[in-house]
Amino acid sequence: MEFKRVARSGQVPEGIVRRFYAGEYEFAVARLNGKAYATSNYCSHLDCLLSSGKLRHDGIGCSCHGSAFDLETGEPICPPATEPIKTYPVEERDGEIFVGIAADELPEGPRRRLRRSS
Ligand code: FES
């Protein structure tokens, strides 16, 4: 696994989620209770961008239809989503946020759109 730098710590203040990239890889990076998290940027319900959503006290909420996900596990904690989102290991050091990407990890995209075009 390789940790890639995605943002400065100051770009992800408490209670905020934003989209960041590491090359081809796209993430929603959030900070909740002081800890930085990285997840897929695509809601498992209908692919809305989670970086356009809002953090809740217990996870990340999608702005489209109200689904929410645990930032640690990616499990859905509020419907209509039933599938988890992918979560990535995060390291924060020297004022920078790094996301762990496995060697065989493929960049995540909107799954429904990818499926349609294949
Ligand atoms: S796309 Fe996220 S709740 Fe529907």
CA-closest candidate to residue 97, choices 52, 51, 36, 53: 36
Domain containing residue 17: CATH number: 2.102.10.10
Q: Which pLDDT value is given to residue 84? A: 98
Mean pLDDT of the chain: 94
Write the DSSP symbol of residue 103: T
Q: Given a cut of 60, is residue 28 above it in pLDDT?
A: yes
**Cβ pair 14, 75 in contact under 8 A:** no
CA distance readout (Å), 51 to 9, 28, 42, 47, 118: 16, 5, 8, 11, 26
Q: Which pLDDT value is given to residue 110? A: 80
Q: Which pLDDT value is given to residue 113? A: 57
The answer to the question of residue 117 being in a domain is no
In percent, the amount of the chain with pLDDT more than 90 equals 87
Other beta carbons within 10 Å of 38: 26
Regarding pTM above 0.85, the answer is yes
Provide the domain limits for residue 49. 2-108
For ligand 1, say whether the CB of 49 is within 6 Å of any of its atoms: no
For ligand 1, say whether the CB of 85 is within 6 Å of any of its atoms: no
- Number of domains making up the chain: 1
For ligand 1, say whether the CB of 64 is within 6 Å of any of its atoms: yes
CA–CA separation, 79 and 65 (whole Å): 8
The answer to the question of residue 115 being in a domain is no
Lowest mean pLDDT of 30-39, 72-81, 109-118, name the range: 109-118
The answer to the question of residue 113 being in a domain is no
Q: Given a cut of 50, is residue 117 above it in pLDDT?
A: no
Q: Given a cut of 60, is residue 51 above it in pLDDT?
A: yes
The answer to the question of residue 118 being in a domain is no
